[in-house]
Chains A and B, each alone.
Chain A
Amino acid sequence: MMGYTSKTLILCAGLALAACTSPDRFEGQNGAGAGAGGGMGAGLSGSAQDPKSQAYFQQTIGDRVLFAVDQSTLSAEAEATLSGQANWLMSNPGYNAIIEGHADEQGTREYNLALGARRANAAQEYLISSGVASNRLRVVSYGKERPIEICSSESCYRQNRRAVTVLTARAGS
């Protein structure tokens, strides 16, 4: 006699259901990921000749500072850029800013998120110490999720280790 153990699997309704519906329930909603980090022209207004324009801030003042490997300390060059940003922000009260911290791909996802936060914070602290009201600034880290240069060598990595000051229109202005 064969003693069979009978186990009825409750194969979840979800499985049966999945067979009837498209596995991709979000088909058609797929944009690219939120366009963060590049300052790739999103929301860019005005010409770079207009000192009050976002384009002027990005291109002439410089919207980003770069960091050495694993570091979040500001170089003299970075401090000069941030001083320019602080002056611009103080004379253009219609804008707030989000400072995005980024890392190169040489590191784990989690560590790079924390490292990017350090970099964004270093830039934010410099802006605040230069006179920008702290309630006009927010920080966010993208870690290694949003490189602007995509090769796997130092020439790209150095561009990716950055803190980018992204202007946002101030509510009510």
Chain B
Amino acid sequence: MMRTMISLFVALTLWAIPVLAQDGGPLRIEITEGVIEPMPFAVPDFVADTAEAREVSRDLSRLVAADLGGTGLFREIPQDAHISRITSFQSPVQYADWRAVNAQALLTGAVSVDGSGRLVVQFRIHDVFAGQELGEGLQFVGTRAGWRRIAHKVADEVYSRITGEGGYFDSRVVFVAESGPKDQRAKRLAIMDYDGANVQYLTDSSSLVLAPRFSPTGDRVLYTSYETGFPRIYVLDVASVGRRTLPTLDGTMSFAPRFGPDGRMVVYSLTQGGNTDLYSMDIGNGQSTRLTSAPSIETAPSYSPDGRRIVFESDRSGTPQLYIMPSQGGEARRISFGQGRYGTPVWSPRGDLVAFTKQSGGRFHIGVMRTDGSEERLLTASFLDEGPTWAPNGRVIMFTRETQGAQGEARLYSVDISGRNLKQVETRGGASDPSWGPLQN
């Protein structure tokens, strides 16, 4: 036992070293704003020694490749171009064969099923041009049913080793699944893996539900439901699907909730007498504090990662714009000054950027700006884009895109923060209001 502990510690320590040592080395993607050439990589099928393991190994290694290729930072060398096969995980790699197909990175792996039926996945990352491994090999063990999570974990390790940043593949997204025509749309809460797999529904569609928001640890979801006939905020436990309503004042509407970084404070909008202001609530004791008192609309609040500030939307200037104030309320500073209307600001997990929705010239955009309002950058444009949510590493944004007209339908899209790699997230039907959860443990 002691021995295991020590080897785990040592391995983890060693693990960090190559990342630093590789700084500026050949196998490294610096994620910058400039146009980058995706790194060519190869993922031969992971070696499997039994029929049982073989059932999983191909799908698993294909999913790792899909995760990495899907970032736009990596470009997979198709398997039919490979001139070398990996038939043994332990044998030395013939680097010349991989150099010949121009693979810069090579991922090799082995899949087996242990005595208790668990899936064991080992893998190594190779720097093909240097002709050596990039750090130590790693092993993940999990249930067979959880093979997708293991694949995402492997991809997260590869991503973080090569980019020096955290990954985002082993994460989930809570969203609103939509069905039915535009004037009778049914909405229900659903949760899925970041790539659209493993959809589970959290509510039925008997009541209109809006804008679910993950807690910082992903264990709970805040959302707005019309269950009582009036919009109220609920908090749902993801594991048990149990839920409760947050206390509110009679005759008011509450909506647009979002967790603070401690998972205990919630900031939200409350409408009374037609006027919408911001409040925060300690959901441990149900005590609310009023944060704004203005005749204007104050909504769509989002905490900074340190919990000390709140970015929100207000039309106090005449049109909706973005403001930042202390999380206890107080003087707000306007940060959006471009042409158009700004809404749904969301603070990035790194704290440096705010993602937002912008309406300008009859089009909607998802954009990012620095927290002082500088360096505004629009990432998308369409008939209707809204509601950005950040990937756990702050590199990718997911949002809702709705198409125009009577047949219009909402879908989820993702884009990276430089505006590249725009793509649809696969969902079975209509989908809106994504909230991207943290990396899972």
Inter-chain contacts of B406 with A (CB < 8 A): 150-152
Bound Cα distance from A110 to B271, whole angstroms: 12
B437 to chain A minimum Cβ distance, whole angstroms, is 13
A149 to chain B: which residues have CB within 8 Å? 183
Q: B206 near A: Cβ within 8 Å?
A: yes
Report whether over half of chain B's contact residues are helix, strand or loop; otherwise say mixed: mixed
Binding site of A, secondary structure by majority: helix, strand, loop or mixed? loop
Query: In the complex the two chains form, what is the Cα distance from A132 to B203 in whole Å?
Result: 38
CB of B115, distance to nearest CB on chain A (Å): 14
Whole-angstrom distance between the Cβ of B51 and the nearest chain A Cβ: 20
Q: Which of B90, B210, B274 contacts A118 (CB 8 A)?
A: B274
Which of under 10, 10 to 19, 20 to 34, or 35 or more describes the interface residues of A? 35 or more
Asked whether, in the complex, the Cβ of B201 is within 8 Å of the Cβ of A106, the reply is: no
Enumerate chain A residues within 8 angstroms of B7, measured Cβ to Cβ.
3, 5
Instruction: Decide yes or no: A33 and B184 within 8 Å by CB, A5-B12, A110-B255, A111-B313 being known contacts.
Output: yes
Chain A binder among B72-80, B92-100, B141-149: B141-149
A172 at the interface (CB under 8 A from B): no
Separation of A89 and B105 alpha carbons in the complex (Å): 75
Which chain A residue has the least Cβ–Cβ distance from B211? A109
Inter-subunit contact A110/B200 (CB<8 Å): no
- A6–B8 CB distance below 8 A: yes
- The reply to whether A11 and B208 contact each other, CB–CB distance below 8 Å, is no
Say whether B300 contacts A5, CB under 8 Å.
no
From the candidates B204, B357, B384, B441, name the one contacting A105 in the complex (CB within 8 A): B384
B343 — which chain A residues lie within 8 A by C-beta? 107-108, 110-111
Contact partner of B201 (CB less than 8 A), chosen from A23, A32, A138, is A23
Chain B residues with CB under 8 Å of chain A are 4, 7-8, 10-12, 14-15, 90, 118, 122, 136-143, 145-146, 149-150, 153, 179-188, 198-201, 203-208, 210-211, 226, 229-231, 239, 241, 251, 253, 255-256, 269, 271, 273-276, 297, 299-300, 313, 315, 320, 341, 343-344, 357, 359, 383-384, 386-387, 402, 404-406, 408, 433, 441
Q: Does A30 sit at the interface, judged by CB under 8 A?
A: yes
Could you say which residues of chain B place their CB within 8 Å of the CB of A127?
Answer: none
* Residues from chain A with Cβ under 8 Å of B229 in the complex: 34, 98, 140
B residues within 8 A CB of A110?
A: 211, 255-256, 269, 299-300, 313, 343-344
Closest Cβ of chain B to A20, distance in Å, is 9
Judge whether B387 and A108 touch: CB under 8 Å.
yes
CA distance A7 to B404 in the complex (A): 48
Tell yes or no: A44 within 8 A of B by CB.
no
Residues from chain A with Cβ under 8 Å of B315 in the complex: 111
- Write out the residue numbers on chain A whose beta carbons fall within 8 Å of the beta carbon of B210: 109, 113, 145
Q: List A residues 1-27 near B (Cβ within 8 Å).
A: 2-12, 14-16, 18-19, 23-26
A6 to chain B, nearest CB (A): 5
On chain A, the residues within 8 Å of B231 by CB distance are 113, 140-141
**Distance between B141 CB and nearest chain A CB, rounded to angstroms:** 5
Chain A minimum-CB-distance residue to B203: A26
Nearest CB of chain B from residue A1's CB, rounded to whole Å:
10
The minimal Cβ–Cβ distance linking B302 to chain A, given in whole angstroms, is: 11
Q: Is the CB of B274 within 8 A of A117?
A: yes
Contacts of A11 in B (CB 8 A): 142-143, 145-146, 149
**Cα separation A7 to B5 with both chains bound (whole Å):** 11
From B136, B140, B271, B404, give the contact of A3 (CB < 8 A): B136
B253 touches A32 (CB 8 A): no
Establish whether residues B143 and A16, one from each chain, have CB atoms under 8 Å apart when the complex forms.
yes
**Beta-carbon nearest neighbor of B386 in chain A:** A108
Question: A133 at the A/B interface (Cβ < 8 Å)?
Answer: no
Q: Which residues of A contact B136 (CB under 8 A)?
A: 2-5
